[in-house]
């Protein structure tokens, strides 16, 4: 499933392609949404904004199209009549004279009045957005140690969008690795220096991933590994997807575990379960 950085990059690309342009055609695959096609055709797209792992496409008549990619959804931007071949099912499309924006495979799509967007069930429950540069590590640390969250395992806590918005499976692994926290630990179990490291990583890694096309590893190390012939999957992350390979910090073997129903990767040396 795309995580916050990927969704924001997709929203950026969509905004550049369709914001400020009149929709010459709009398509919805679902019958209950088809009546909105006529309401949106001929209207100007005013903005495309990400909300955690969701995107809202706003139009100048006060409507917004909410979409969540879920596990398989993918956005494609192309020139008119130059749609790439795909076996995916088209779910939502906005056309203008220069670009087509196409959403495939996603099933969580709604049309809302703009003023209702903040109260959408998914958006209303979102915690602070890890890509929001106004959010501070002190706020994240305080939130982690607050009553609703302090006694929950990090493994499940970090996948709860009500805690921090935009974090998914790869970011969970990378944040906990960098903070030297085992996924089974709870905020209440951690030393102050671990909580401080967690709060820093919880903001720094998603923001780095957004700016650097998904790379969460040390940027200098990633550049060196790329230049010396390593594949992207070998240099992109500190730990995620690297089971059986040496830890970049201590040399111990990275291990894959299943916790909270999802795969997670740890360094047993750097992230001991005390």
Which residues are known catalytic residues? 2-3, 53, 262
| List of residues 6+ apart from 38 with CB closer than 8 A | none
Q: Are 12 and 60 in contact (CB under 8 A)?
A: no
Within 10 angstroms of residue 3's Cβ, the number of other Cβ atoms is 21
Q: Is 147 helix (H, G, I), strand (E, B) or coil?
A: coil
Helix axes 192-211, 4-18, angle to 10 degrees: 30
CA-nearest of 83, 52, 86 to 69 is 52
Structure tokens at 227: 């230049």
Helix ranges (DSSP H) in the chain: 4-18, 35-40, 121-124, 137-144, 154-157, 169-179, 192-211, 219-227, 232-235
d(CA 236, CA 219): 9
Element holding 65 (H helix, E strand): strand 63-68
Element holding 155 (H helix, E strand): helix 154-157
CA-nearest of 213, 49, 220, 234 to 126 is 49
CA-nearest of 180, 167, 256, 233 to 265 is 256
Structure tokens at 88: 């995916």
Element holding 6 (H helix, E strand): helix 4-18
């Amino acid at each position: 499933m795309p995580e916050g950085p990927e969704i924001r990059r997709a929203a950026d690309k969509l905004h550049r392609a369709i914001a400020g342009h009149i929709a010459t055609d709009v398509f919805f695959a679902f019958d209950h949404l088809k009546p909105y096609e006529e309401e949106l055709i001929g209207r100007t797209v005013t903005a495309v904004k990400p909300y955690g792992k969701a995107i809202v496409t706003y139009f100048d008549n006060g409507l917004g199209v909410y979409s969540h990619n879920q596990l398989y959804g993918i956005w494609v931007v192309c020139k008119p009549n130059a749609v790439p071949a795909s076996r995916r099912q088209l779910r939502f499309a906005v056309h203008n004279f220069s670009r087509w924006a196409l959403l495939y495979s996603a099933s969580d799509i709604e049309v809302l009045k703009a003023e209702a967007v903040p109260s959408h069930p998914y958006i209303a429950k979102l915690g602070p957005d890890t890509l929001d540069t106004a959010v501070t590590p002190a706020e994240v640390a305080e939130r982690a140690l607050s009553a609703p969250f302090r006694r929950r395992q990090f493994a499940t806590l970090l996948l709860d969008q009500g805690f921090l918005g935009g974090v998914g499976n790869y970011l969970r692994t990378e944040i906990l690795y960098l903070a030297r926290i085992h996924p089974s630990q709870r905020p209440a179990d951690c030393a102050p220096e671990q909580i401080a490291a967690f709060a820093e990583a919880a903001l720094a890694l998603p923001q780095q991933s957004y700016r650097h096309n998904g790379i969460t590893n040390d940027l200098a190390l990633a550049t060196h590994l790329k230049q010396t012939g390593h594949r992207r999957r070998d240099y992109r992350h500190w730990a995620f997807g690297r089971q059986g390979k040496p830890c970049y910090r201590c040399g111990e073997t990275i291990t894959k575990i299943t916790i909270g129903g999802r795969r997670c990767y740890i360094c047993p040396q750097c992230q001991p379960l005390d």
